[in-house]
Amino acid sequence: MSQQLEEATAVRTRVRREFEERFGAPPAHVARAPGRVNLIGDHTDYNDGFVLPMAIDRAVWIAFRPRDDGRVVLHSLDFDETASFELDDGRKGDAGWLEYVRGVVWALGTAGHRLTRGWEGVVAGDVPVGAGLSSSAALELATARVATALADVTWEPTVMARLAQRAENEWVGVNCGIMDQLISAAGRAGHAMLIDCRSLGTRAVPIPASAAIVVLDTATRRGLVDSAYNERRAQCEAGARWFGVPALRDVDPATFAARSSGLDEITCRRARHVVTENARVLAAADALARGDVAAVGTLMNESHASLRDDFAVSRAELDTMVSLARAHGACHGARMTGAGFGGCAVALVEAGAAGEFARDTARAYEQATGRRPAVYVCSASPGASLEA
Ligand code: GLA
């Protein structure tokens, strides 16, 4: 058994065991929803563009059973804390992780799926929190899985992802796009997912057996990510207005080249990133589908340069990690991934050398920066699921 499979099994076993200890009976169900890593296509989702993420083999698990009253009681093993709320309490709180659960319950209610009975359970996960691997989307989609089981609502990944995004935007107050929620809901084992963030159409793209996806956490976190993220969104919207289109998705590279000289420099750079990144995502999906990992790697490298130079969301440690990863003979390409400003890089490497790559790159990074990175060799996993 691989080490990660053992760890995932351990989390699942832990929530079941803890549930039995607390409630004196086995859970009715266990819900699971994965974190994600984005192979290419960052800051494109909120521009109605394209992304190519995969769900990873790290997830949030919730063991639960219904209650007879209208209360939700949840014990978090990771935060070592029991928290609760009444289903009909529509006031937002500041209870940290619980607000993601409350937000999803609220969002389902706005869509006509009001829960009438509460539930109780145990939650735990192995998606590192705050690393940019979407532990919050995983918690949201695991909650949606719980709620749909209790309310007897059909699980429709796209609908649930939209509702989870609504919870994050309107309840938690983070203005994210759709990528994290949709891949956590709709991931497919062994595949990355090309997502059209306007139509929400998806195309599963197999990851060749010869390639491994390695996530390299720089062990840097940056505050104020929200304000920088919102600023980038506003700059993109200004760019779309200037081109007279609903979103930058509607600007192709030729139109951009012909007309962009009239834009102010910052807006021009931001828009150029989005326009070129969308083209790279589509090219990378095709290259991956035909097994051309060298071409995917080159596109990943170009993506990093664009995020660093035009979109200005990288930082020194991410650039260092990416350079060290690329210097390894087994690496096809590497880039920062997710919102940026800190967190993780992702590398596409030869499967047979993934362990050695992970060790060597981690050591080189620690020598260069004095920070100890976490490194995860990830396999692409299925989206949110429910087991008896
Ligand atoms: C965060 C957001 C996503 C997306 C990425 C950048 O992860 O939650 O919606 O915008 O940043 O690609």
Give the number of the atom of ligand 1 that is nearest the alpha carbon of residue 41.
12
Q: Indicate if the pLDDT at residue 62 is higher than 60.
A: yes
Element housing 35 (H / E): strand 29-38
Residue 351 Cα distances to 210, 211, 221, 331, 375, angstroms: 5, 5, 29, 10, 15
Confidence bin at 303 (pLDDT 50/70/90): very high
The per-residue pLDDT for range 88-125, each reduced to its tens digit, is: 998 998 879 999 999 999 999 999 999 999 999 999 99
Q: Is the CB of 168 under 6 A from ligand 1?
A: no
Residue 66 Cα distances to 5, 25, 129, angstroms: 29, 12, 27
Q: Indicate if the pLDDT at residue 331 is higher than 90.
A: yes
Confidence bin at 3 (pLDDT 50/70/90): low
The tokens of 149 are what? 């089981």
* Residue with CA closest to ligand 1 atom 8: 176
Distance 175 CA to ligand 1 centre (A): 9
The per-residue pLDDT for range 220-235, each reduced to its tens digit, is: 987 767 889 999 999 9
Residues with a known catalytic role: 180
Burial of 170 (0-12, 13-18, 19+ CB in 10 A): middle
Of 218-227, 283-292, 321-330, which gets the smallest average pLDDT? Answer: 218-227
Q: What CA–CA distance (Å, rounded) separates 239 from 4?
A: 43
Q: What CA–CA distance (Å, rounded) separates 237 from 245?
A: 10
Q: What is the mean pLDDT of the chain?
A: 96
Q: Indicate if the pLDDT at residue 320 is higher than 80.
A: yes
Distance 125 CA to ligand 1 centre (A): 20
Residue owning tokens 């065991």? 17
Helix axes 179-186, 157-166, angle to 10 degrees: 150
**Mean pLDDT in residue range 286-295:** 98
Q: Is the CB of 205 under 6 A from ligand 1?
A: no
pTM of the model: 0.97
Give the number of the atom of ligand 1 that is nearest the alpha carbon of residue 174.
8
Contact (CB, 8 A) for 357 and 328: yes
The per-residue pLDDT for range 32-48, each reduced to its tens digit, is: 999 999 999 999 999 99
**Mean pLDDT in residue range 324-331:** 98
Ligand 1 pocket mutation, candidates 42, 50, 182, 221, criterion most atoms within 8 A of CB: 42
Q: Is the CB of 339 under 6 A from ligand 1?
A: yes
Contact (CB, 8 A) for 384 and 31: yes
**DSSP H helical ranges for the chain:** 3-23, 97-110, 135-151, 157-166, 179-186, 225-243, 253-259, 265-289, 293-309, 316-327, 354-369
**Mean pLDDT in residue range 308-327:** 98
**Mean pLDDT in residue range 356-361:** 98
pLDDT at 2 (0 to 100): 63
Ligand 1 pocket mutation, candidates 133, 169, 179, 280, criterion most atoms within 8 A of CB: 179
Distance 181 CA to ligand 1 centre (A): 10
Ligand 1 pocket mutation, candidates 40, 140, 180, criterion most atoms within 8 A of CB: 180
pLDDT at 94 (0 to 100): 83
Distance 176 CA to ligand 1 centre (A): 6
pLDDT at 224 (0 to 100): 63
Element housing 123 (H / E): strand 119-125
Q: What CA–CA distance (Å, rounded) separates 40 from 32?
A: 25
Distance 1 CA to ligand 1 centre (A): 32
pLDDT at 256 (0 to 100): 97
Q: Is the CB of 183 under 6 A from ligand 1?
A: no
pLDDT at 193 (0 to 100): 98
pLDDT at 263 (0 to 100): 96
pLDDT at 1 (0 to 100): 54
Give the number of the atom of ligand 1 that is nearest the alpha carbon of residue 137.
8
Q: What CA–CA distance (Å, rounded) separates 133 from 209?
A: 23
**Mean pLDDT in residue range 320-329:** 98
The tokens of 105 are what? 């319950």
Distance 388 CA to ligand 1 centre (A): 32
Backbone phi, psi, residue 112, to 5°? 85, 5
Q: Indicate if the pLDDT at residue 7 is higher than 90.
A: no
**Mean pLDDT in residue range 327-351:** 97
pLDDT at 9 (0 to 100): 78
pLDDT at 158 (0 to 100): 98
Give the number of the atom of ligand 1 that is nearest the alpha carbon of residue 45.
10
Residues in the chain: 388
Q: Which of 310, 287, 308 is nearest to 299 (CA)?
A: 287
Residue owning tokens 């007309």? 259
DSSP class of residue 168 equals: I
The tokens of 255 are what? 């139109």
